[in-house]
Amino acid sequence: MDRRAFFKVVGAAGAGTFLVACHANERGGGTATEVASGGTLYVLADTSSIHLDPAKSQNLAITTVGFIHRRLTAWKTSPDQPATVVPDLATDTGRPSADGRTWTYTLKDGLKLSDGTPITADTIKYGVERSFAAAFSGGLGYHKTLLDGGSDYRGPFEGGELASIEVQDDKTIVFHLNRSYGDWPWIVSMPAFAPVPRGKGTDANYDTQPVTSGPYQVSAYDKGVAVHFTRNPNWVAATDVARTGLPDEVVYQLGLDDDVISQRLIADSGNDRNAFANPFVAPAQLAQIQGNPAVSNRLVTSKSGALAYVSLNVRRGPLANPQVRQAFQYAVDKVAYQVATAGNADLAGPIATTLITEGIVGREVYDLYPAPPTGDVDKAKQMLAAAGYPNGLDLDFPVSTSNSLSDKAQAIQAALQRAGIRTNLRPLDDDTWTSVVTGNDGDYDLTLSSWQPDFPSANANIQPLFGTSEIGNGGYNLSRYSVPEVDDLIARAQGIVDPAEAGKLWAQADRRIMQDSPIVPLIYTRNSFLHGSKVGNFEVGAFPAYPNYLQVGLAK
């Protein structure tokens, strides 16, 4: 499954009016909407709570906590170009040493937190150090294994300071890594790099009442009901290239049923005209929306998105044989999966044959196993027979019951059955499924999942899914794939600062992995989002497959 929940909203600030394409995406249609500073933006969410403590958040840089927390860097997104990293609190995206192991940042002048505290290098250092404390864990943690000494550090409350985060003066901070890492500018765009005043955030209340650096501050948090963001008086728009900060206020309405959210946005009345949905539009509602021109012009669909795939446990019985695994590439019916996902192929997303998702530097398009979109059953049977399984296979297939994955798994099960691959579909609640497939035992044969990279680099496609270090212990290498040549390619690519040069190695790793067939790519899952008639600047970039909420505004 796509293991992340995303919560999104907007920014705060200057006066002025903007004429923009409300549905700039080629799949969204619609007309231009004139947006201006002011008004209240509503987000209709199916979750009962939101982590606002940056140490606990897994939000992407363009989603919810981006309204209240700035980081050293931010993302610039566009429908037509790969996402790029841009300065946020820092004056640039980082100055690396020649070996890519030391990164230096200088903060912009005049930055303050919502409580008036100056944003200094020490507030960044303390914020990162907090994320190592067990009491404040749960957020994105790439930095924890990259910072020198980070693997043994336990946070500022019991471990003192982390020496590899060096504060040279109020405006200069230096990070010392344990190895070369060219994607460090993306890492410092993650929530843990938001500033926290030293001594603050020592209790659980910080998750609902944090000190903020973005366009908004938290004025009220009623779990299961609503969260209110109002303007942060100390935010200066001129220092922020990532956020337009148009609405005066952002209100999350929590704990709503998905169907209720869709029906409210379809009706488009009252405050719902100023609202958008936090969850994706469910397949059941997509057909209804597409058949109604008054509503369909408010539907925005990404061009592509997370990689959906079948993961084959390479350490289990017949699946240890690469020829058996390659037979799966021909046995699957990707069209059936598209239909199970969104009712039709167009809304579900394009068929996938590679690992690196669209909108990321280094992606190459190829197909090592060319077959009709519905599969090549005869070829699959021939390959299984040649591998010693003329009578097919009997395999265990646990699947999460969240996000309609059980229905999608049934489409995979039926397709495999045609080739004599019989599967015992084992529906599990999401926590149990996660424990089974990311635990150390590896007691399963295949499973169904999807992956949305945490940052716009092929690094985030390849390493978490296929690095040996990600097997078990909660890691997401669900195929339990371990090949020294691939681990070497990953390490070499991670050490290159130039994205174009690194991209060449990532493309090489992509092909090398697919030769071994540890997974079957299915589709690049499109996400569809619905918004009210007064919401503008609602645009999905090439990456990620989510609207950039920091750009959204409301009609005059």
Dump pLDDT digits (tens) for 490-530: 999 999 999 999 999 999 999 999 999 999 999 999 999 99
Confidence check: pLDDT of 154 > 60: yes
Q: What is the pLDDT of residue 15?
A: 30
Distance CA 268, CA 37 (A): 21
Confidence check: pLDDT of 21 > 70: no
Task: Note down the domain range covering 248.
Answer: 17-253+529-555
In terms of domains, do 540 and 502 share one? no
In terms of domains, do 348 and 369 share one? yes
In terms of domains, do 323 and 218 share one? no
Does 268 fall in a domain?
no
Q: What is the pLDDT of residue 11?
A: 28
Q: What percent of the chain has pLDDT over 70?
A: 94
Confidence check: pLDDT of 16 > 50: no
How many CB atoms are located within 10 Å of the residue 386 CB?
12
Does 275 fall in a domain?
no
Q: What is the pLDDT of residue 406?
A: 83
The sheet carrying 446-451 orders its strands as 446-451, 306-312, 519-525
Does 168 fall in a domain?
yes
In terms of domains, do 541 and 467 share one? no
Distance CA 407, CA 521 (A): 18
pLDDT digits (tens, 9 = 90+) for 352-407: 999 999 888 889 999 999 999 999 999 999 999 999 999 999 999 999 987 778 88
pLDDT digits (tens, 9 = 90+) for 263-284: 999 999 999 999 999 878 877 7
pLDDT digits (tens, 9 = 90+) for 530-543: 999 999 999 999 89
Provide the CA 463 distance to its chain's centre, in angstroms: 15
Q: What is the mean pLDDT of residues 426-452?
A: 94
Q: What is the pLDDT of residue 284?
A: 73
In terms of domains, do 238 and 320 share one? no
Q: Hey, is 500 helix, strand or coil? A: helix
In terms of domains, do 517 and 541 share one? no
Does 39 fall in a domain?
yes
Q: What is the mean pLDDT of residues 250-256?
A: 96
The label of the residue with tokens 């060449």 reads: 504
Confidence check: pLDDT of 22 > 80: no
Q: What is the pLDDT of residue 287?
A: 77
In terms of domains, do 238 and 366 share one? no
Q: What is the pLDDT of residue 5?
A: 35
How wide is the angle at C-alpha 181 spanned by C-alphas 179 and 182, nearest 5°? 155
Does 274 fall in a domain?
no
The HSE-up count of residue 65 (CA atoms within 13 Å, CB side) is: 34
Read off the DSSP letter of residue 351: B
In terms of domains, do 434 and 503 share one? yes
More confident residue, 407 or 253: 253
How many CB atoms are located within 10 Å of the residue 441 CB?
9
pLDDT digits (tens, 9 = 90+) for 79-131: 888 889 999 999 999 999 999 999 999 999 999 999 999 999 999 999 999 99
- Chain-wide mean pLDDT for the chain? 91
In terms of domains, do 345 and 237 share one? no
CB-based burial, 107-143: b 16+ in 10 Å, e otherwise? bbeebbbbeebbbbbbbbbbbbbbbbbeebeebbbbb
Confidence check: pLDDT of 28 > 50: no
CATH assignment at residue 350: 3.10.105.10
CATH assignment at residue 206: 3.40.190.10
Q: What is the mean pLDDT of residues 480-488?
A: 98
Q: Give me the number of domains the chain comprises.
A: 2
pLDDT digits (tens, 9 = 90+) for 312-342: 999 999 999 999 999 999 999 999 999 998 8
Distance CA 213, CA 245 (A): 13
